[in-house]
Amino acid sequence: MAPASRPLLSVLGVALLVVAGCVVCRLPEEAFEAVLRTNLGAIRDAIHGYERDGGCLRDLAQLVAEGYLRQLPVDPFAENRSVWYSVRDDGGCICDVRSTSNETAEDGTRYRDW
């Protein structure tokens, strides 16, 4: 290989690594939205199961402690398991869960309203 072509290959190699890194490090928005929908569904199913069994859910951690979930799913936008917003009924029982994200989805809705 000619010495003059080495710098060009180095620049191309670095550029390729940067592009590949961007693709790997940041999942498309649609993937985060899919994970959020799946995780909200899993928590909501567990809440409904808890209610069907006659319980009044006071803390999401009860879902794990009592075997309704193995662990609380992550909110992909907060990258945290413990930041879910709990919606409570008039009796103080958790009846729904929401993301705490203020970001807007591809369809124009806010994730916290899902």
Domains of the chain, residue spans: 28-113
Mean pLDDT for back-to-back runs of 10 residues, the chain (114 residues): 59 60 65 96 98 96 97 94 96 97 93 96
Q: What are phi and psi of 73, to 5 degrees?
A: -70, 160
At 58 the pLDDT is 97
At 28 the pLDDT is 86
Contact assessment for residue 105 and residue 33, using Cβ atoms and an 8 Å cutoff: yes
Q: How far is CA 87 from CA 30, 50, 60, 97, 113, in A?
A: 25, 15, 11, 6, 11
At 33 the pLDDT is 95
At 8 the pLDDT is 56
* pTM recorded for the entire structure: 0.75
